[in-house]
Amino acid sequence: MSAPSTAIESNLVENRVFPPSEALVKAARISGMAGYEALRAEADRDFEGFWARLARENLQWTKPFTRTLDESNAPFYQWFADGELNASANCLDRHMGTAVENKTAIIFEADDGAVTKVTYKELLARVSQFANALKAHGVEKGDRVLIYMPMGVEGVVAMQACARIGATHSVVFGGFSAKALNERIIDAGAVAVITANYQVRGGKELPLKAIVDEGLAMGGCECVRSIFVYQRTATACAMVPGRDKTWDEALAGQSTECPPTPVGAEHPLFILYTSGSTGKPKGVQHSTGGYLLWAKLTMDWSFDLKPEDVFWCTADIGWVTGHSYVTYGPLAAGATEIIFEGIPTYPNAGRFWQMIERHKCTVFYTAPTAIRSLIKAADSDAAVHPKNWDLSSLRILGSVGEPINPEAWMWYYRHVGGERCPVIDTWWQTETGGHIMNPLPGATPLVPGSCTLPLPGIYTAIVDETGQEMPNGSGGMLVIKRPWPSMIRTIWNDPERFKKSYFPDELKGYYLAGDGAVRSVDRGYFRVTGRIDDVLNVSGHRMGTMEIESALVAKSDLVAEAAVVGRPDDLTGEAICAFVVLKRPRPVGDEAKQIAKELRDWVAKEIGPIAKPKDIRFGDNLPKTRSGKIMRRLLRSLAKGESITQDTSTLENPAILDQLAQNN
């Protein structure tokens, strides 16, 4: 990995600054920059004392911790390790007997617009009953359970029920393939799978259980003893007697009370697979205590959550954003939250705005990709422009998943937020568990396109390859200098890879995020420019280039060699571009189109539709140095459609560039 060039400095011309309104400052939990600085100073003064105070104030412990941070086996840090708690009790039971007990926890809007509301008390009963069902099927503390569910109340119930009995869940996004499921089931050693017969998105029924069956049939999944199937639709799906149970069968006769199982603070709450720079996805392991502390606290800090707020995070529970800001954070904070089953463009691209109006949403948290696609839709059809709906309930807007370009930021701020709602651009990752850098609604002056400053207690910096800090205005690698409670604990089954990926020797023990960033000269604000490793960000979804390359060459009857790079895309942030050498003469015309389609379908089967390359280009060879190394930087230029100005004298086969410059 190399530090990005300082060329990004020149892009950093953003003079617009939006200070928080007086009303926001006055009402905010962290009020004004003085409030922010005071918390930072507290962490500077007494790092462990700061975190211990927050952990005591924000979580309910069945056994209090006596040690805050254990660094004896760094980078395998432990937080609050001798304390015990239960994550589900901290999301549900803690609210019983308080004003939150009969408050709406979840407003669920189905794909077809049907709405169901669930109170905290009802949710506790549903989680407890399903937890009892899991126990009755032999699922125990420490077991792993794979969840492959649509967006809905039951997905949250499934996750919370696992947490309640101390089982570690691993949620797989419903857009991943049978093969991806198979690999995750095997790696996690899952004893049970929780799924649904179908998911409903954009008016279509898409199978889930059939994909689970296909994944299991690929072999190696003997660990799975039970499959629980929520019947989302009336359509039947194949069931294996003995192994498979419908949701209703599983719940039958089970009590709606289930005492939460206390676990150690370091007990793995979940494993979530994410792409890295090698072929195999990494099982990011999170703790219970530290993770939950940050999920709860960032709800309070980043969104300045109030009891009357109606919070809506549009992320799927299959991604970390859905874990922290759908399943755990909002419930731990006692919020009312919206969960949406469908897609932003069905029945039309006004769906989000219509739902904000309908449910009087106050805090709305979504991804730049969604915003960009809704801008495009509103530009071409005035009927779906947000101005057609009453969005006056909104107080705060959030953004997550990828850099938000200042144009999209301004549109979001103006047309959705009515120039009244701060845009909270949150930078973080699967590995960080929760927000790391973002403005605070009642404190931080906003600059479009910048995630501004780290949260109190978090120490981010920009360094060169030797760990030396860069001056403001100079680009470099983003690192986190000190451990924090919600950090990744290890990579499941691969502690060595954990150390190598995130704590390389040259970086003095700093956590390496894998992103490039630059700080502004005037304010020292951070702007994250994107990945500096072989990871792409397509519509906010993280994809490894090597993962896609491995999938392509796995089609061994056809593909001899493949190289995958990203290129900028107005809508999806980055687009996947694959350069492929076939085991037959380079195809042209219709044949090229047909083989490209075949390869896209193949990648969808190997990984999932989200990994399908947008461009596929065929060559007789790939551009290589005389020592046989593929020159990816040239491929990146070709993918962007740039003419090659770089030095190609070390290239074995310069003629290949012209061939690869042609798109199919």
Site string for ligand PRX, 411-450 (x = CB under 6 A): --------------xxxxxx--------------------
Q: Rounded to the nearest whole angstrom, what is the least distance from the CB of residue 170 to ligand PRX in the complex? A: 15
Distance of CA 289 to the CA centre of its chain: 20
Candidate segments 15-23, 102-110, 164-172, 508-516, binder of ligand PRX by CB under 6 A: 508-516
Report the residue number, 12 or 599, with the smaller CB distance to ligand PRX: 12
Minimal distance in Å, beta carbon 165 to ligand PRX? 27
Q: DSSP secondary-structure letter at 445?
A: P
Structure-token pair, residue 122: 């009802």
φ/ψ bin of 418: left (φ > 0), alpha (ψ from -120 to 50), beta (otherwise): left
Lookup: tokens for 275: 């792409």
Minimum Å gap between C-beta 304 and ligand PRX is: 18
> Is 451 among the residues that bind ligand PRX (CB under 6 A)?
yes
* Strand residue runs (E) in 359-444: 363-366, 396-400, 423-426
AA letter at 210: A
| Token pair belonging to 150 | 């649509």
Q: Which residue is nearest to ligand PRX (CB)?
A: 430
For ligand PRX, the closer CB: 132 or 537: 537
* Interface segment toward ligand PRX; rule CB under 6 A; list 204-212, 346-354, 401-409, 457-465: 401-409
Q: Output 135 or 169, the one with its CB closest to ligand PRX.
A: 169
Task: Count the helix, strand and coil residues of the chain and give each as a percent rounded to the nearest 5.
Answer: 35, 25, 45
CB of 222 to ligand PRX, least distance (A): 31
Query: Mask: binding to ligand PRX, 227-266, rule CB under 6 A, as x and -?
Result: ----------------------------------------
Question: Which is closer to ligand PRX, CB of 152 or CB of 398?
Answer: 398
Q: Which of 197, 274, 373, 501 binds ligand PRX (CB under 6 A)?
A: 274
Query: How far apart are the two ends of the chain, measured CA to CA in Å?
Result: 31
Binding to ligand PRX by residue 460, rule CB under 6 A?
no
Distance CA 211, CA 443 (A): 47
Spatial distance between the Cα atoms of 370 and 364, rounded to a whole number of angstroms: 12
Of the ranges 301-309, 394-402, 558-566, 611-619, which one interacts with ligand PRX (CB under 6 A)? 394-402
Ranges within 511-550 binding ligand PRX (CB under 6 A): 513-515, 528, 530-531, 537, 542
Tokens of 113: 């617009």
**291 contacts ligand PRX (rule: CB under 6 A):** no
Report the distance separating Cα 437 and Cα 56, nearest Å.
23
Pattern 295-324, binding to ligand PRX, x per CB under 6 A?
-------------------------xx---
The contact mask relative to ligand PRX for 644-663 (x = CB under 6 A, - = no) is: --------------------
Query: Taking the complex as a whole, how short is the minimal distance between the CB of residue 449 and ligand PRX, in angstroms?
Result: 9
Is residue 403 involved in binding ligand PRX (CB under 6 A)?
yes
Task: Assess 118 for contact with ligand PRX (CB under 6 A).
Answer: no
Task: Rule CB under 6 A: say whether 335 interacts with ligand PRX.
Answer: no
Nearest to 467 by CA among 415, 422, 416, 507: 507
C-beta atoms surrounding 647 within 10 Å: 7
Does the protein bind ligand PRX through residue 325 (CB under 6 A)?
no
Cα 320 from chain centre: 4
Closest CB 378 distance from ligand PRX, rounded Å: 22
Dihedral (CA of 472, 478, 479, 484) sign? positive
Q: How far is the CB of 404 from ligand PRX (least distance, A)?
A: 7
Q: Which is nearer to ligand PRX, 384 or 400 (CB)?
A: 400
Q: Which pair of tokens denotes residue 478?
A: 């983003």
Report CA dihedral (618, 621, 622, 626) to the nearest 10 degrees: -170
Q: Is 462 near ligand PRX (CB under 6 A)?
A: no
- 166 contacts ligand PRX (rule: CB under 6 A): no
In a 3-state reduction of DSSP, which class is residue 201? strand
Nearer to ligand PRX, 378 or 513 (CB): 513
Query: Residue 597: which residues within 8 A CB-CB, separation 6 or more?
Result: none
Q: In angstroms, give the least distance from the CB of 432 to ligand PRX.
A: 8
Which residue, chain included where needed, has tokens 């506790």?
124
Half-sphere exposure of 218 (CA within 13 A, CB side): 17
By CB under 6 A, is residue 574 in contact with ligand PRX? no
288, 267 Cβ separation under 8 angstroms: yes
**b/e per residue 339-361 (b: at least 16 CB within 10 A):** bbbbbbbeeebbbbbbbbbbbbb
- Least CB distance to ligand PRX at residue 296 (A): 17
Q: Which residues pair with 274 in a beta bridge?
A: 282
Q: Which is nearer to ligand PRX, 529 or 664 (CB)?
A: 529
Is the alpha carbon torsion for 50, 51, 52, 55 positive or negative? positive
**Residues comprising the chain, all counted:** 664
Cβ proximity to ligand PRX, 123 vs 611, nearer residue:
611
457 binds ligand PRX (CB under 6 A): no
Per rule CB under 6 A, is residue 182 in the interface with ligand PRX? no
Q: Answer yes or no whether residue 398 interacts with ligand PRX by CB under 6 A.
A: no
Which residues, 6+ apart, have CB-to-CB distance to 633 below 8 Å?
Answer: 646
Determine, following the binding rule CB under 6 A, whether residue 498 of this chain makes contact with ligand PRX.
no
- Which residues make beta-bridge pairs with 230? 196
Binding footprint of ligand PRX on the chain (CB under 6 A): 274, 320-321, 400-403, 425-430, 451, 513-515, 528, 530-531, 537, 542
